[in-house]
Amino acid sequence: MNLPKRVEIIESGPRDGIQNEKIFISTNSKLQLIHALSETGIKRMEATSFVSPKHVPQMADGAEVFRNINKREDVQYMTLIPNKRGFDLAKDVGATSLALFVAASETFNKKNVRMSIEESLFQLSSVVEEAKNENMFIRFHISTAFYCPYEGPVQEETTLGLVQALEKLNVDEIVLCDTIGRANPKQVYHLFGKTLDFSPRAKITAHFHDTYGLSKANSLAALQAGISSFDTSIGGLGGCPFAPGAAGNDSTEDFVFMLHEMGVETGVDFDKLMQCVNLIKEMTNRTLTGHLHKIANPNSPDNNTNDIVKLNS
């Protein structure tokens, strides 16, 4: 089996994981989670976003959160922005690493940001240019890289064309997102393989959701294709609100456990990671979609075994 020696974990829980939670999570609780994740060995995370509080009320305290993070020098704290206003807000609080996004589906992009793909790229290209002049790090998500909840399958050529367009913008990282969790391992292997065939200058990262229970299989396919950088979310929180029955993002703890069991290094302290799972369980009333918290907690109603499994890191 072709596996990398080491895989980079990018934690998206503080942003993508909790952004659609209906019960508002306090600023202090968000900071507690971010600080705990910073102690696990994870070196990169999406900490918050600067989006419309009307549409994403959970992120209304983005500026307060970012200002009050006890930032470690060895951890990259990224903020997601949708437009120039978001860029200005991020810049005002001292953010130096930004996440932007565009969809590979016209319908999804119009419903999400009320612009066509071409209009999004035109608007955000000037944001990227200004950010690069400020020596900021730019990661760019391609949403619905495989499937759209409105249009169905997305043509591979469409996603690859966006990868090439973003390469021309000189972004630092491109994230291919299975937004509704509908991709299968064959598609994943093929698309990431084709992407790497371009020899892109940008880092290529995978972002999977587990709606159809395929996130681990898809992650393994991406690993086989040569990808060694993955977005995950603590507890498996997250999920596209436009996808029927959507589960969350790929669970950080489950993915790290799988990698460690296969002898792949992550630099993540598993015990500290599980402490973060316990934290997020107290912050939301939603059932976590990860699996290991059920095994690690014998009192969980979902745990049907009397044996306590020792989770090796």
What amino acid positions are annotated as catalytic residues? Answer: 240
- Count Cβ atoms within 10 A of the Cβ of residue 177 and give its class: 0-12 exposed, 13-18 middle, 19 or more buried: buried
Query: What is the distance between the alpha carbons of residues 151 and 242, in angstroms, rounded to a whole number?
Result: 12
Query: What is the distance between the alpha carbons of residues 22 and 14, in angstroms, rounded to a whole number?
Result: 14
Tell me which residue of 145, 160, 242 sits closest to 200, measured CA to CA: 160
Burial pattern 206-234, b for ≥16 Cβ within 10 A else e, equals bbbbbbbebbbbbbbbbbbbebbbbbbbb
Please count the residues of the chain: 313
DSSP at 236: G
CB 115 within 8 A of CB 123: yes
- 49 SS3 class: strand
Tell me which residue of 57, 133, 131 sits closest to 98, measured CA to CA: 131
